[in-house]
Each structure stands twice: as structure tokens, then as C-alpha cells.
Amino acid sequence: MKLSEAAIDAVMGYAIVFLGIALLVIVVVLMGKLMAAKKPAVVSPVAGTAPVPPIPEKEPEKAPGAAGELKLYDTPERDAAMIMAIVADELHTPINELRFISIREVNKK
């Protein structure tokens, strides 16, 4: 194989990868926008009917041992304790110097 041919193939191959990926990005972005548009919008109250008072979200239980500040959303206390310990260890900072506001499981299926 000639070097000039190899150089052309290499440049073209890299360009094709970028092109394929760029098209894929467009498709994925469009999919994201489509999904966002399909999310149910907040229903406005129908004229003439009394507005339904919003149901207050249940205040999550406050975890013990966090000076009453830490709020747990769908997270067991045991997991929360482990998460706080791991974060403190990773940051090389004593846990009593950190302030945890809330812990929420974001990837719940």
C-alpha cells in the first residue's frame, strides 16, 4: 500500500467517524427534545371550577446525626451514612467539617 493512499484512508476514516458521531449527536439531541416536549405539561384549572389546593409534599424525615439539617429522599439511613463516609474519605476532609443538605436517589427505576 502506498503511503499517500494510507494517509488518505487515515484522514477519511477519522472524518467518517466524526461525521457518523455528529449525525448521531443530532439524532440524540432531537430525541431528547422530543421527549421533553412530550412530558405532560402542568394542567391549568378549568374555568368555573374551584382550584384544587395543591397537596403539600410530605416533608422527608430528617436523618439523625446530621444536626437536624440533612434531608433524605428515598434513601435509607444506612446508605446515607455510607455515602457521607465515602464522600468524606474521598475529599480527605473530616466528616464534621462537611455539611450535607440532602441525599436523593436520582437513578431510581
Partner 1 sequence: MDNILETLKKLWLESGFMGFFASGGWKSLIMIAVALVLLYLGIKKKFEPLLLVGIAFGCLLTNLPGAGLYHMGMWDAYVHECPYDPVNDYALYNQAEERVYTQDEYYYYVAARACGRTGAQIEEHLETLHSEGGDISADFQTLVTSPEYDNSVAMSIDGSLVVELSFTDIAHLGGLLDILYIGVKAGIYPCLIFIGVGAMTDFGPLIANPKSFFLGAAAQFGVFFAFFGAVLLGFSGNEAASIGIIGGADGPTAIMTCMLLAPALLGPIAIAAYSYMALIPMIQPPIMRLLTTEKERSVKMEQLREVSKTEKIVFPILVAGFVILLLPSTAPLIGCLMFGNLLRETGVTERLSDVAQNALMNIVTLFLGISVGATTVAARFLTLNTIKIVVLGLIAFCFSTVGGLLVGKLMYKLSGGKINPLIGAAGVSAVPMAARVAQVEGQKANPSNFLLMHAMGPNVAGVIGSAIAAGFLIKVFGA
Q: Is 86 in the site for partner 1 (CB under 8 A)?
A: no
CA distance 70 to 49: 40
Q: In this chain, which of 21, 67, 83, 85 binds partner 1, going by CB under 8 A?
A: 21
Q: Decide if residue 73 touches partner 1 (CB under 8 A).
A: no
Give the nearest distance from C-beta 48 to partner 1 in angstroms: 34
Instruction: For residue 83, state whether it binds partner 1 (rule: CB under 8 A).
Output: no
Rounded CA separation 61/71 (Å): 6
Residue 75 CA to residue 63 CA, distance in Å, equals: 10
The closest of 74, 90, 79 to 98, measured between CA atoms, is 90
**85: contact with partner 1 by CB under 8 A:** no
Residues 31-70 binding partner 1 (CB under 8 A) are 31-32, 35
Q: Which of 58, 78, 92, 99 binds partner 1 (CB under 8 A)?
A: 92
Q: Which residues of this protein are in contact with partner 1, per CB under 8 A?
A: 1, 3, 5-7, 9-11, 13-14, 16-18, 20-25, 27-29, 31-32, 35, 90-93, 106-107, 109
